[in-house]
Structure 1
Amino acid sequence: MRFDPDNKETAPVLQLDQVVRTFGALRAVDGVSLQVAAGSITGLIGPNGAGKTTLFNTIAGSARPDAGEIRLRGERIDGLRADQVFHRGLGRTFQIPRPLATLTVTENMLLAPTGQSGEKFWNSWLARGRLRAQDAAHLAKARELLDFVGLSALAEQKAGVLSGGQQKLLELARILMVDPALILLDEPAAGVNPVLLESLVARIQDLHRRGVTFLLIEHNMDMVMQLCNPVVVMAQGRVVMQGTPQEVRADARVIDAYLGDAP
């Protein structure tokens, strides 16, 4: 299905068509086709080595596909650099968060917005008023988002002192600074204590109610079944099936590839 700008409710935000990514003789991503609908939380599951993270890297521009097409809001992004994909509205978190540890939480937030006037040195002399207004707006937005994810009390702390779960909340807040069309979440539950995980899930659900679209990789099946619909299952670089959480749990191919004898 092609993106129809006059029919945004049914058009996919993200569309992959026969995407391939190889490493020598290994086809880590082997002809993957899938769609992520606007406003959905789409889960991507599968055993270790299924190709999920490689697929994320290929979507986000960290790796280039060997074949196939990737479209974000109808525009091809396959072959673009990661920064170019980001500027087109795709945000991505990592299984291991990557804040700038020596900067404060707020400073990390303020690095996110693109197209800042201060990036052009002559604006420091020619457009000081505009710079001050833009800086004030970015700071206000950063404070609002830090409050949203529950990190306001740590705003002036160095990001390096945050726990793993807090760093994931910071990553999510930092991405929201640019109002992305789609957020890729790479194992958001990994290494997060139950209390912070509950907070993270609540924030994702809140954003979903506001219309934010997510594609997430996750091994925590309880979280997947709670958050995601549809769920896409990968094994050996290919999509095995896609369906509702209930359909995925009951599918024999999924049980064979991933869930084993789990009920």
Structure 2
Amino acid sequence: MLQLDNVVKTFGALRAVDGVSLEVQRATITGLIGPNGAGKTTLFNTIAGAYVPDGGQIRLDGQAIGGLRADQIFHRGLGRTFQIPRPLGTLTVTENMLLSPHGQIGERFWNAWLRRGAVRAQDRRNLEKAREVIAFMGLGHLADQPAGVLSGGQQKLLELARILMVNPAVILLDEPAAGVNPVLLESLMERIVALNRQGITFLLIEHNMDMVMSLCNPVVVMAQGKVVMQGEPAAVRTDPRVVNAYLGDQP
């Protein structure tokens, strides 16, 4: 579903992503782990269009996306979340949701007069979908509340919910467990599993190893901008290359 071939991203003399090649198979939950500074978030930003790769190829479902703008990649079916959620705090949860769908004919002001019925019908469909997704994410009781009053964990649920408004094929999750209390984390994991069973592919960065080992298969390990191994969780946990990546050479 997602294919990277020798992807490079540099900042001056620093090769933050140094020839990364990997494949994310359709309808899997793939984990991406590694110590701080391994290049994981830079890789996410390069895949999602925040950065232009300096080398290599990135393909989404067989189509090249390397170098496209973030919004173009989003509209092709790849969404991503961030370590720190970014809702529009003064808008309600529902209003945040309604900003996501693309191709809204009401965005062209003349359609408010020339295609009033079509605009209303599309707005009604989007609102119905937003309510369904909000309920699925367990945020129904907060639908009319400003997004700024949500807890950190609830904001992560909202961020994932906003992506679902565009029927994504692939979702990149950047540290979904960070700052989330155990109850909401369990809820988030249940939603990820449910969405995966519906066919959505996930690639997630995470430092919570319990979450990675229970949720992800395969697991990809990065260190110093490179992929050092990829395999099943049990194999990754005990592999000397992974221990060395996190702890360094031991005497």
Identity across matched positions, percent = 77
Please point out which of 148, 151, 154 is paired with 2:136.
148
TM-score, length-normalised on structure 1? 0.93
Q: Does 1:79 align with 2:67?
A: yes
The alpha-carbon distance between structure 1 residues 259 and 127, as it changes in their structure 2 partners (threshold 3 A), is: farther
Tell me by how many angstroms 1:258 deviates: 2.2
Residue 60 of structure 1 corresponds to 48
Tell me by how many angstroms 1:25 deviates: 0.6
Please give the alpha-carbon distance, in whole angstroms, between the structure 2 residues aligned to 1:184 and 1:250: 26
SS at match of 2:126: helix
Q: Does 1:41 align with 2:41?
A: no
Residue 76 of structure 2 corresponds to 88
TM-score, length-normalised on structure 2? 0.97
1:58-79 alpha-carbon deviations (Å, 9 max, x no partner):
0000011100010111111111
Residue 97 of structure 1 corresponds to 85
Q: Does 1:198 align with 2:186?
A: yes
Residue 137 of structure 1 corresponds to 125
AA aligned to 1:158 is P
AA aligned to 1:230 is P
Residue 9 of structure 1 corresponds to none
Q: Does 1:220 align with 2:228?
A: no
Tell me by how many angstroms 1:259 deviates: 6.5
Unaligned 5+ segments in structure 1 are: 1-12
1:174-253 matches, within 5 Å, as 174-253=162-241
Please give the alpha-carbon distance, in whole angstroms, between the structure 1 residues aligned to 2:219 and 2:107: 41
Residue 124 of structure 1 corresponds to 112
Please give the alpha-carbon distance, in whole angstroms, between the structure 2 residues aligned to 1:136 and 1:259: 54
Residue 246 of structure 2 corresponds to 258
Backbone CA RMSD of aligned residues: 1.1
User: Which segments of structure 1 move beyond 2 Å, counting only runs of 4 or more?
Assistant: none
Please give the alpha-carbon distance, in whole angstroms, between the structure 1 residues aligned to 2:141 and 2:88: 18
Please give the alpha-carbon distance, in whole angstroms, between the structure 2 residues aligned to 1:152 and 1:259: 44
Residue 8 of structure 1 corresponds to none
Please give the alpha-carbon distance, in whole angstroms, between the structure 2 residues aligned to 1:181 and 1:121: 31
Q: Does 1:160 align with 2:148?
A: yes
AA aligned to 2:183 is V
Please give the alpha-carbon distance, in whole angstroms, between the structure 1 residues aligned to 2:153 and 2:247: 26
Aligned residues: 249
